[in-house]
Amino acid sequence: MKLLDLLSSGDNRLFTRLTITGGLAGGGSAVLLAIVNAAAEQIERDAVDEVNWFLAGAFIAVAAIYFLSEIYLVARIGAQIENGINRVRTRLLDRLANADFARIERFGQTRLYESITQSSQIISQNSQLLAHAFRSLLLVVAVMLYVLWLSPLAFFLIVAVIAIGTTIYLRMGKELSACYHKLGEAENNLFERVADLFYGIKEVRMSSARSNALHVAFMATSTEKEDIAIKAHDLTFRQQIMGMMAFYILLAVIVFIVPVYSPSFSGTVMKVSTAVLFMIGPISSVVQSWTVLGMAESAAIRMSTLDADLLDMAEPIADGNDALVRDDFSHIRFHEVTFSYAHHDPYHGFELGPITLDITRGDLIFITGGNGSGKSTLIKLLTALYRPTEGHIEIDGMRLGPQSIEAYRSLIATVFSDYHLFSHLYGQGEINRDEASFWLHLFELDHITGIEIPPPREAPQGDNVAKPAEHPRFVRKDLSQGQKKRLALISAILEKRPVLVLDEWAADQDPHFREKFYRVILPELKTRGQTIVAVTHDDHYFDAADRRLHLDTGQLRDITASSSVTPDGRV
């Protein structure tokens, strides 16, 4: 069972604890039933008017065992399950962080989000059912053993009726599961229609025909979801009614049929009937949780499959030799580097290179080229997010490999075109307030936002546990796209890494700040010793660079900034 394997990861005693505590709880319930029946039988037989202290003491002792077992099962096993979910979720996130970037791009975000968040949520929400269903199952087994001791004939008839009823119930459950699957698809379609309206509101407002068509599609999808939901509710109620009818049939068999074929059964009919009534709750719990546990098992299978896929995509990174890459490097060199995208259609693949390139520390380099020429691919190779298909990259004569790639990346700060502005400035360490104020003023943001720097952490006193470190954060992030991009660049600058890589950074800036970026900010960074590689289309500012590298369908040319060039890069 993948669910149990997933949750017991790192703890091989989970199943043992489940079995012991569930057995104690279930067995305790059966023993309590036997004690009550024994006491009732004694009272009926002997007409006693005194307390049977032996049975009463046994009842109290078994009840205490049952009570403690139930507490442990619900509380401790529930905590164990949550710990297991946390371990798996953490492992998935770690493997995602260390997976090969090029393969992750092709992997798709939907499956990652669904498996890491929604699947774990499904398991977490239904984690208690695992303990309760397991306990209920063991309780049914214990009570059935008690019935077997009372009457073998009643035992086999009860088993037969339960087997037939469970078979019918599960068949109805398959139809219900298929209905819930259709309901999930209908909900996804409905969410898609809502997303079309939410993200395409401008286009909808611009066309009454589009608005009407979207409204019709939404109403049709909503009606479809309503019909499927009604059917799902109907099947659910039918399934529950069928389950209750199975118990009534079971009681009828015990009361009307068994005594006919077993004359000696009349003395135990009340005990067996009580046992059957006692099992109604546990059996209902097991059967009703079957569908929910099936959903949790499916979620566990998805997480396990993702875990295996991410492990297969792990980037080969070795520890121990990071010191080989120095902050005061002199050169980064590409030696006949080629990169090819894996593509299902061999006629539409893209190949960059071969590229031979030398970047000297302190260079200000612009990368230009048309759409699809390979600019983004080149900077992903430069930042070691992509690994060359052929050729290799060197830094100060040392070839990049698993032992050095992580340290190499730590030299480079980036602002990609599809950048993400984090809620906090993670990994920044201590930030100088004066320096932060300088950059905020230079980027013309000091009047609308700032950087909140938390006070130093106090050392824990006595038995107090140290609180997690707080990270600096921007006071305000609800800004325009251009202003958010300025914050992203400020964050990259404050990292104080020797290399800064920018991908179409100025595209979202107004003309005034675009000129300031090329004429003021980049020169300021260069005077501070920063090596800058920037992808740009702004041909009016090509002269601001020391060198310009032009890409055309994957082929690179080095064009000096002083050359007379046309905007498309031709000399």
pLDDT-wise least confident of 2-11, 448-457, 540-549: 2-11
| Phi and psi, residue 32, nearest 5° | -60, -40
CA distance 67 to 192: 49
pLDDT band at 565 (very low <50, low <70, confident <90, very high): very low
Final residue belonging to a domain, choices 131, 149, 167: 149
Mean pLDDT, the chain, rounded, equals 77
Q: What is the DSSP letter of 400?
A: P
Query: What are residue 69's DSSP bridge partners?
Result: none
Cβ count within 10 A of residue 410:
15
In a domain, 42, yes or no: yes
Predicted pLDDT at 527: 92
In a domain, 116, yes or no: yes
In a domain, 242, yes or no: no
Predicted pLDDT at 77: 64
Total domains in the fold of the chain: 2
**Domain containing residue 95: CATH number:** 1.20.1560.10
Mean pLDDT of 49-66: 72
Mean pLDDT of 173-188: 75
Who's near 209: CB < 8 A, 6+ residues apart? Answer: none
Is the confidence at residue 22, as pLDDT, over 60? yes
435-481: per-residue pLDDT in tens?
A: 889 999 999 988 888 888 777 666 555 555 445 557 788 887 778 88
Pairing mode, if any, of strands 531-535 and 499-503? parallel
CA distance 169 to 98: 45
Predicted pLDDT at 90: 79
The string over 92-124, giving b where at least 16 C-beta atoms fall within 10 Å of a residue's C-beta and e elsewhere, is beebbeebbebebeebeeeebeebbeebbebbb
The residue that leads in pLDDT, 419 or 121, is 419
Q: Which two tokens stand for residue 542?
A: 């090509």
pLDDT band at 495 (very low <50, low <70, confident <90, very high): confident
CA distance 483 to 503: 16
CB 346 within 8 Å of CB 358 = no
CA distance 273 to 253: 10
Where does residue 366 fall: left (phi above 0), alpha (psi -120 to 50 degrees), or beta otherwise? beta
SS3 313: coil
Final residue belonging to a domain, choices 115, 149, 183: 149
Where does residue 142 fall: left (phi above 0), alpha (psi -120 to 50 degrees), or beta otherwise? alpha
Query: Alpha carbon 558 to chain centroid distance?
Result: 44
In a domain, 490, yes or no: yes
In a domain, 138, yes or no: yes
CA distance 81 to 145: 30
Is the confidence at residue 344, as pLDDT, over 80? no
63-86: per-residue pLDDT in tens?
A: 777 777 777 666 666 676 777 777
Is the confidence at residue 171, as pLDDT, over 90? no
In a domain, 230, yes or no: no
Give the helix/strand (H/E) hosting 357: strand 351-360
Q: What is this structure's pTM?
A: 0.65
The residue that leads in pLDDT, 444 or 22, is 444
**Domain containing residue 429: CATH number:** 3.40.50.300
Predicted pLDDT at 439: 92
Task: Tell me the residue range of the domain where 68 lies.
Answer: 1-149
Final residue belonging to a domain, choices 149, 184, 207: 149
Amino acid identity, position 275? A
